Amino acid sequence: LAGRPTAGPWDGLRVLVTAGGTREPIDSVRYVGNRSSGRMGFALADAAAARGAAVTVVAANVTLPRNPAVRYLDVETAAQLADACAGAFAQTDVLLMAAAVADFRPVGPADHKIKKTGRGELTVEMEATVDVLASLSGTRRDGQVLVGFAAEHGDGALAYGRDKLERKGLDAIVVNDISRPDIGFDTPENEVTVITRTGDQPIAKADKAAVADAILAVVDRLRDAAVRT
Q: Which is the catalytic residue, given 34, 61, 176, 190?
A: 34
Residue at 173: amino acid letter: I
Is 61 known to be catalytic? no
One of 23, 39, 51, 164 touching ligand CTP (CB under 6 A): 164
> Minimum distance from CB of 129 to ligand CTP (Å)?
5
3-state secondary structure the chain: CCCCCCCCCCCCCEEEEEEEECCEECCCCCEECCCCCCHHHHHHHHHHHHCCCEEEEEEECCCCCCCCCCEEEEECCHHHHHHHHHHHHCCCCEEEECCECCCEEECCCCCCCCCCCCCCCCCCCEEECCCHHHHHHCCCCCCCEEEEEEEECCCCHHHHHHHHHHHCCCCEEEEEECCCCCCCCCCCEEEEEEEECCEEEEEEEEEHHHHHHHHHHHHHHHHHHHHHC
Q: Is 164 annotated as a binding residue?
A: yes
CB atoms within 10 A of CB 105: 21
> Min. distance of Cβ 103 from Ca ion in angstroms?
4
Q: Is 17 within 8 Å of 41 (Cβ atoms)?
A: yes
Q: Chain-centre distance of CA 125, in angstroms?
A: 26
| Residue 183 interacting partner from Ca ion, ligand CTP, none (CB closer than 5 to 8 Å by kind) | none
Site for ligand CTP, residues 110 to 139, rule: CB under 6 A: 129, 131-133
Site for ligand CTP in 86-105 (CB under 6 A): 97, 99, 101, 103
Side-chain-side CA neighbours of 68 within 13 Å: the count stands at: 3
Q: How many residues bind ligand CTP (CB under 6 A)?
A: 14
Least Cβ distance, residue 168 to Ca ion (angstroms): 11
For Ca ion, give the closer residue by CB, 67 or 135. 135
Q: Annotated binding residue at 208? A: no
Residue 155 interacts with ligand CTP (CB under 6 A): yes or no? no
106 binds ligand CTP (CB under 6 A): no
Q: From the list ligand CTP, Ca ion, none, pick the one residue 36 interacts with, judged by a Cβ distance below 5 to 8 Å according to partner type.
A: none
Does 103 bind Ca ion (CB under 5 A)? Our answer is yes
Binding-site partner at residue 133 among Ca ion, ligand CTP, none, CB < 5 to 8 Å by type: ligand CTP
Stretch that binds Ca ion, among 49-57, 95-103, 128-136, 139-147 (CB under 5 A): 95-103
Residues lying near ligand CTP in the complex (CB under 6 A): 78, 97, 99, 101, 103, 129, 131-133, 148-151, 164
Which residues are known catalytic residues? Answer: 34
